[in-house]
Amino acid sequence: MAIARQQTIDRGPLAGTLCLQSDPSAMMECAVLRLTDHCAVVALERETRLSDACDLVVPEAALHRSCKTVWQSGNELILEFEPLAVDGARPATHHRSSCVGALLALRSVFDEIQSGILLLSKDTHVQFCNLTFRQMWNIPDELVEGRPAFGDVLKFCIDAGSFDLGDVDADAHVKARIRSIEAGDSRPIDLRRPDGQVIRVQCTSLPDGGHLLTYTRITDIVRHSDELDVLRTALDRIQDGVLLLDENLNALFINARMREYFGVTEQQAAEYPSYAKLLAGTPSAGLYGMSSEAFEVHCASRIAAVRAADPAVIDLKVGDDLNARVCCTEIGNGGRMLTYTDITDLARNAKQLEKLATVDAMTGVFNRRHFLVLAQAEWSRFQRYHRPLSVLMIDIDHFKSVNDQYGHAVGDEAIAALAGVCRRDRRRADVVGRLGGEEFAVLLPETEQAQALLIAERIRNQVGACVLARPGGRFNMTISLGIAMAAPDMSDVGDLLKAADRALYEAKAAGRNCSRVAVELPGHAVTAA
């Protein structure tokens, strides 16, 4: 005898409310996807596990029924209604027709679920499979009507090419899956179909010894995961360091370059360490080379700047051989993205350009322009603190004759020899510059006039001991020096240099190969002695 299908309401989702019987004040809004005399399929706003009996209220259907959850997947539930009371008392038994009706209703509801459902007995024979499962694997109705073994269904899918086993033997795969199900292994398995779809299979053990298998399409999720893996791999291959932080400044992602920078392993990076913890570990990675006090200040400053999403770019000297440019960008989820770019070559080139702009190529001492810049800085310090400041003006004697008689190569050698003596003999604070041709100057901070004279004589004697090669023999060169000390009535550093220059000319006039000191007589201009 055919069994009539249960009456259903197919007007689209209806608004409903679930009330827990244990706590009537606890109510949840839901959408009723399917409604029959015996059960309902509902969707909650978010996934919530319901273990207590509850009441379903659907105003549009004039329904208020007590029910219990018989199946749940995500936020979708199947609710089975309690039997209606007769004269206020619940029936002690159900008629067979009522049971059959309830069973048909449940089957109808399961057919509406978007996941494939396969119910297996204790001996892994198919007791029920829903419409989604049959359509998912193109299984004919006659195959499942005779309660086939799960292994037979699985072999049918393999023979039909429904999913690719690769090099795995089909029989071995079937046996392994049956053993896994019988053992109640609930770990999900992802099956990739030839058309690119990915289906996740999960097994749930039932109280009667049977098993419930759910087949859920996760193609979009896997595709996004694959795309994310591709992006992660790409970020791991680039030379820049990339650090993604959440709104609490915990690391969401650290690429390979940045892991190397912070000295963390891939496993440590997967533990979502805080930015503060990453910074604190950089000394052990050999970075910065700061004192502990300076490093604490640096960390506090960086954390504050990143928290404020300060876009200012900073350049850090990392170790002895690496310079990094750090940039912070705010990203859409309230987090931050930090990029560390290796600018070692740029810094090296900038240093070389600075050297070219400030250092005389032939002698290795400062050129005239940069020497005057440094002299002005020392003059400002002299005016502020009234500390002694002296300067030497040096000129090679008879330099034109050396060029004319021995050639410019010998003249260049003489200039280089003088510069070498000045560099070797100078103190850390002294500044040596080539003002032009064969003329040099030495700035002597914290130096009184008498001490400056001693330094000048030492330079003169060392230069005199230099023996230069010339065609046909060797010769000794000599130099003349003018010495001046800064005085309060001098208007600027130019006056100091002019005083030393006048003293130099006095040394030339006195026969060369000597030093002269500029002295300031009361009521007179600076002269030389």
The residues carrying an active-site annotation are 438
Q: How many helices (H) and strands (E) does the chain have?
A: 16, 24
Tell me whether residue 118 is exposed, middle or buried, using C-beta atoms within 10 angstroms of its C-beta: 0 to 12, 13 to 18, 19 or more: buried
Look-up of token digits 């392994």: 176
DSSP secondary structure, 198-230, as one string = EEEEEEEE-TTS-EEEEEEE-HHHHHHHHHHHH
Other CB atoms within a 10 A radius of the CB of residue 20 amount to 16
Q: How far apart are CA 314 and CA 343, in angstroms?
A: 11
Grouping H, G, I as helix, E, B as strand and the rest as coil, residue 291 is coil
Task: Classify residue 86 by its DSSP letter.
Answer: B
Q: How far apart are CA 136 and CA 229, in angstroms?
A: 27
Cα angle: 197, vertex 181, 137; to 5 degrees = 30
**58: nearest Cα among 48, 67, 70:** 67
Q: How far apart are CA 482 and CA 421, in angstroms?
A: 17
Task: Classify residue 180 by its DSSP letter.
Answer: H
Q: How far apart are CA 326 and CA 238, in angstroms?
A: 16
Tokens representing 165 are 């086993």
